[in-house]
Amino acid sequence: MACAHDEATLLRALNANLPPAVRVFDVRVMPDDFHARFSATGKTYEYRIWNGLAVPPVLRLYTWHVPQPLDVAAMRRAADAIPGEHDFAAFQGAGGMTHTSVRRVQSARWLTAADGSLVFEVAGEGFLRHMVRSLVGTLVEVGHRRRDPDDMARLIAARERSGAGRTAPAEGLFLVKVEYHIHRAS
């Protein structure tokens, strides 16, 4: 389906009509068979945690406030078990509509942001419903020393949701990148 407007005009029109909290930075005309979700070949998520007694007001809507101290080194060791192709059934939320819970994760790591937040960054070909939040909830249990860092590999192998930790709140989760390997329409 051909578009009557050029990409620059579409970009301006979208930003003029979207709420201020949503911005479009790039517009591309794609082939008719393109699907924003199913054509994606990779995604990167970040999950942010404020680990301190008082969360800065500007961050309160965008982080999970965990006031108790966390053993971040243990959380990093536990996260090392996540990359690779695994059956992540233990970290799948109810209501998922997939035919398999096997996913390939390229990287999973904990970083410290410039604002002091702890950031769990995970990249993969695709993710299950609530998978990232379930991973984070389990990793925080490791950080609270309620689980051993080696438990993560055992949980993945067991494929039982009841063995994993709670699902972290939605506020800290951000989809930061979606990758596509397709050719532009002419």
pLDDT digit string, tens, across residues 105-153:
999 999 999 999 999 999 999 999 999 999 999 999 999 999 999 999 9
pLDDT greater at residue 168 or residue 37: 168
Q: Looking only at Cα atoms, what is the longest distance across the chain?
A: 58
> What average pLDDT does range 54-64 have in this prediction?
95
CB atoms within 10 A of CB 80: 12
pLDDT of residue 182: 67
Closest CA to 77 of 123, 139, 133: 139
Phi-psi domain of 112 (left: phi exceeds 0; alpha: psi -120 through 50; beta: other): beta
User: Helix, strand, or coil here: 156?
Assistant: helix
Q: Which residues pair with 42 in a beta bridge?
A: 179
pLDDT of residue 183: 60
Rounded to 5°, angle at Cα 61 from 59 and 67: 65
Instruction: Tell whether domain 40-178 is in CATH 3.60.10.10.
Output: no
- Measured CA to CA in angstroms, residue 39 lies from 3, 13, 85, 184 at distances of 20, 25, 20, 13
> What average pLDDT does range 37-60 have in this prediction?
94
pLDDT of residue 161: 93
pLDDT of residue 2: 66
Closest CA to 109 of 139, 79, 131: 79
Q: Are 172 and 62 a contacting pair, CB within 8 Å?
A: yes
